[in-house]
Amino acid sequence: MNWLAISPLEAALIWSALAAAAVWLYLRHPRPRPKRVSTLRFWRSIEGSSRPRRKRRIGEPWALLAQVLFLLLIVLALADLRPAGQDFEGRYVALLLDSSAWSQSRPAGQAPWIERIRGEADDFVDRLAFGDHVLIVSADADASPLVSFTADRAAMHKAIAAFRASDTAADLPRALELARAAVAGKRRAAIVYIGPGLLDEPQARRIEQFRRDLQQAPPAFRPQLLVRRVGDWPVENRGITRLALRRDTARPDRWRLLAQVHNYGRRAADTTLTISIDGRVLERQTLRLAAGQGQPAHSEFTWADGGLLEAEISPPDALAADNRALAHLPVFRPVHAAVFTRDPKILKPVFATNPYVVTEFLPPGGRPAAVPQVAIYDAVPPPPDPDTDSIVFLPAGAVADKRRGAAGAAKRAGRGQPAAEMRLTAWNPRHPVTRWLRTRDVSVTAAAPLAIGARDVVLAWSDSVPLLVARQQNGHKQVLAAFDLRQSNLPFQPAFPLLMAAAIEWMTGAVEEMADAGTTGEVRVAGPASRVFAPSGAEISFARAGDQLQLLAFQAGLYRIAGPEGEFKLAVNLPPLPAQRWLATSDESSELQAAPPISPARRLWPLFVLLALVPLWAEWHFAEKLRVKSYELATPPSSPPTHNS
Amino acid sequence: MASPLLLDRDFLRTLEEVTLLCRKDLSGTIGSDHRSRNHGPGLEFADYRRYSFGDDPRFLDWSAYLRLGKLFLKIYQTEEHIPVRVLIDTSRSMDCEPESGEPESGEPAGEPKFRYAQRLAATFAYLALLRLDTAVVIPFAESIRKPLVAAGGRERFWPVMEFLNGLGCGGRTDLLASVKQFLRQFTGKGVAVILSDFFDEEGARRAVEMLRFAGHDFVLLHVHTPDEQRPASYGELILEDVETGERRRVHSSPEAAAAYERAFLEYCGRLERLAARNGGRYGRALTSVPYQDFVLRGLRGDRVVE
């Protein structure tokens, strides 16, 4: 059964209330009526018959039952039941409400677009025929249903009232496809879009394709597409469409900033761009923006500490959401390296050109001023248990000892003496230290054989002889070279500074060269994560794709990503917003097709009304019987003749 | 608003054919149209009787002597003046409107009780005046109030009507005290018509006995409304006596109404027997019956009028 007018629960409640009222009326003792009489003596004489009733009772239960049955049938008629299984004649309407960033627009002197969208949606719902089913979808970067197909007007209005705008750009073709899939196979369906109707060029082409696809459907199953545009276009809005920062490679504490500002309005405008970090204003620039054009703004500043960089444009305009962009600046701290060497001539030039490392050259056994992050042993025996990360170039004596030992072992094994000069033939391309090294010009006069542990990684070979090994020992990383730098031409190779820089980076972590911000919508971020928090503080879901994670960012702001190695921040800003108006055809601007007539034969309320007449008559019959019986009881069988006849 | 005419003109013309009957030998003043059973000076021939020594020779029928050779006297009917005294109950209990709407019996509600009593009082007064009798209208409640005495024919009826129209109801019923007072003030025998609802049974019994002892020919006319005979309202009621103010909560149902009616009719029967035992007459005047019908048919049946 379809309960069209009221739900089964409502019908049950109404009937229960009416039945309770009927029983109460039957049992009701009306307040005694006052009456002045001259015959009180006769009432006294019949005291037993006229004693006031104390016990409530129903005089005619059958009449009461008949009345309750009558009320039930009337309530069922009001519920407008229809037999299940019949084709429901109402329409299926997918209502797409634009919840993109443009919906937040508040042009001067006009109502906010989001309120106009809600108003338009409420009016549309109210004009629908009774029994039409509506699916309401929030259309932004994603297309998510707010309420699934329902004929409950209250639920529709509630969903419309709860609908909110996001900070994303709308993907209207995606929302249209979702709506088409939802109404597929339904007769007399409609897809209705309500919003500003702003697209970019690719979306416009996809909508054209969508229209063509709609025409392919059979006429009986072809949904009507309606477009209800809200708001005048263009609006006077300027927005930051891009914010990017790069470190200066020569000076890691210096940043180069690029901001792109776009004028969506039809008038040229002057805009002030303010750059600040953690609330401290660094710079202000005035930009002259032509109508419909964008303009880049550059800036440079020195900032070694991390922080939140904010770019903001003023004065305020129709859309405030894109007047602000964020970027998270990572902290820069140079690596402190202690070089233990008898002859700093070889390594000094290498580190002199590396602004990321601050080196302290010490003689063997020397004590650095502070505990270094990396210790480099140039032909100096390292301590047996190093307490820092280290790079070790074995001293020549160790190499000779090892050679003698290796030669003896080789002799005993029947192998030949180690070669005097070895050419490095291969680098390990998978390890971070050597992945960018390709040179084959490195030769080594003498190299000691290295014992390779189970967890050691060979970084470079000469044929099958390991020359460079990476190991981890007691929680510290070590790069071990099997040769003395003086017995090799490696220091003279361009690869040597790269090798040193890569080794230090592998040990201390890479310095972030960029401080780009993501844009709302689908975001991909490198790195493992266990939890992601939106700018509002709410935890949001995400998906893993390899070593990246994917999430849908509906809000602009700073996201926190918590992983096994700590937490890092991700700034997300509004993307460049589409600025091309959806040109609706005359059909799309027309009204919803009229609701089909409901076949009267399928409605059951006339039957219920007719059936209700039976208990109505029965109630009168039982009540009349009671009245006649009472009268017969009341009339004495033989009354004394009156003198007036 | 009640019409000032208690009796309409058609009914008055009809009353000219009606005579108030006396059941007792009441010695009245000669000269009325009221026929007496006594024989004596009069205009209407009644019978012959043999002449006895000492009879008045003026009444000898000489034609009969010539024919029969014997002396016969003509006897004429004596026409005496019989005062008709109408005691009308003006207590609060008479001022009851009938229940609006039709009761279960289907009878109409009738007119107000006191109005009905006024009409009956006017009727008896008119009947008396028609026969050149004296009509006295005596209102009473706890005691009798200032009466109206009318005599000298029908022309004297209009003051009676005005007097009756000017009466109002008030006070409690004390029939015994009122009759006592009546008997003290009106010592001559006559016809006493008591118009009341007679809800003072003990007082009525003693009053009737006193009337009998005083030699009056009395008629008890019991005036009541249909709902006083059988209640028309059902449900929970709070009844308040109009005279005593006593209150009582009752549940009126068809069964209770039937029991009530039985009690009421039993009471009416007792009144009737009381009247009959004491040589009087009793009539029950139900206000739903038009007063004309009651007078012309009901009272005829009760041998009050003819």
Query: pLDDT tens-digit profile of A202-236?
Result: 999 999 999 999 999 888 888 999 999 999 888 99
User: Among 3.40.50.970, 3.40.50.410, 3.30.1360.120, 1.10.3720.10, what is the CATH number of A92-234+579-596?
Assistant: 3.40.50.410
| Cα distance between residue A471 and residue A449, in whole Å | 15
Residues of B in contact with A635 (CB under 8 A): 104, 258
- Distance of residue A616 Cα from the nearest chain B Cα, in angstroms: 24
Disruptive mutation site among B119, B260, B267 for chain A (greatest number of A CBs within 10 Å): B260
Contact A39 B264 (CB under 8 A): yes
- The dotted CATH code for A335-508 is 3.40.50.880
| Cα distance between residue B129 and residue B152, in whole Å | 7
pTM over 0.90, yes/no: no
Mean pLDDT of chain A: 85
**Tokens describing residue A224:** 């009507």
Position B99 scores a pLDDT of 61
Closest A-chain CA to B264:
A42
Residues of A in contact with B246 (CB under 8 A): 40
A444 pLDDT exceeds 50?
yes
- What is the number of other CB atoms lying within 10 angstroms of the CB of residue A539? 11
Lowest mean pLDDT among A171-185, A419-433, A591-605, B183-197: A591-605
Run of H or E including A114: helix A113-127
- Distance of residue B12 Cα from the nearest chain A Cα, in angstroms: 20
> For a pLDDT cut of 90, what percent of chain B falls above it?
31
Residue scoring higher pLDDT (B37 or A67):
A67
Position A478 scores a pLDDT of 93
A423 pLDDT exceeds 80?
yes
Q: Nearest Cα to A146, choosing from A131, A157, A135? A: A135
Q: Nearest Cα to A113, choosing from A230, A198, A234, A197? A: A230
What domains lie within chain B, and their CATH numbers? 9-26+82-301 (3.40.50.410), 29-80 (no CATH)
Q: What is the mean pLDDT of residues A1-28?
A: 80
A55–B contact, CB cutoff 8 A: no
- Distance of residue B224 Cα from the nearest chain A Cα, in angstroms: 10
Position B257 scores a pLDDT of 87
Q: Nearest Cα to A604, choosing from A189, A211, A84, A240? A: A84
Lowest mean pLDDT among A121-130, B98-107, B266-275: B98-107
Residues contacting residue A609 through CB under 8 Å, at least 6 positions apart: A73, A74, A77
pLDDT in tens, B201-214: 888 999 999 999 98
A44–B contact, CB cutoff 8 A: yes
Q: Which amino acid is at A209?
A: Q
Pick B259's closest partner by Cβ from A36, A49, A53: A49
| Cα distance between residue A122 and residue A158, in whole Å | 10
Pick A52's closest partner by Cβ from B93, B251, B265: B251
A67 pLDDT exceeds 60?
yes
Q: What is the mean pLDDT of residues B15-24?
A: 77
Residues of A in contact with B243 (CB under 8 A): 38
Cite the DSSP H helix spans in B2-145.
9-15, 62-68, 113-130
Residues of chain A with CATH 2.60.40.10: 238-329
Residue scoring higher pLDDT (B28 or A569):
A569
Disruptive mutation site among A26, A626, A642 for chain B (greatest number of B CBs within 10 Å): A642
Q: In which residue are the tokens 């007449």 written?
A: A613
Answer whether the bond into residue A349 is a cis peptide, omega within 30°: no
| Cα distance between residue B300 and residue B306, in whole Å | 5
Contact A37 B263 (CB under 8 A): no
CATH class of A238-329: mainly beta
Q: In what order do the strands lie in the sheet with A254-263?
A: A238-247, A254-263, A294-302
Q: What is the mean pLDDT of residues A137-142?
A: 92
β-bridge partners, A227: A193
**Tokens describing residue B89:** 């109950």
Position A240 scores a pLDDT of 94
Residues of chain A with CATH 3.40.50.410: 92-234+579-596
Which ipTM value was assigned to this complex?
0.72
Closest B-chain CA to A34:
B238
Contact B228 A45 (CB under 8 A): no
Closest A-chain CA to B248:
A40
A348 pLDDT exceeds 70?
yes
Contact B284 A643 (CB under 8 A): yes
Residues of chain A with CATH 3.40.50.880: 335-508
Cite the DSSP H helix spans in A440-585.
495-508
Contact B246 A40 (CB under 8 A): yes
Contact A38 B269 (CB under 8 A): no
Write out the E strands in A151-291: 189-195, 198-199, 224-229, 238-247, 254-263, 269-277, 280-289
Pick A37's closest partner by Cβ from B239, B255, B302: B239
A375 pLDDT exceeds 70?
yes
Position A506 scores a pLDDT of 92
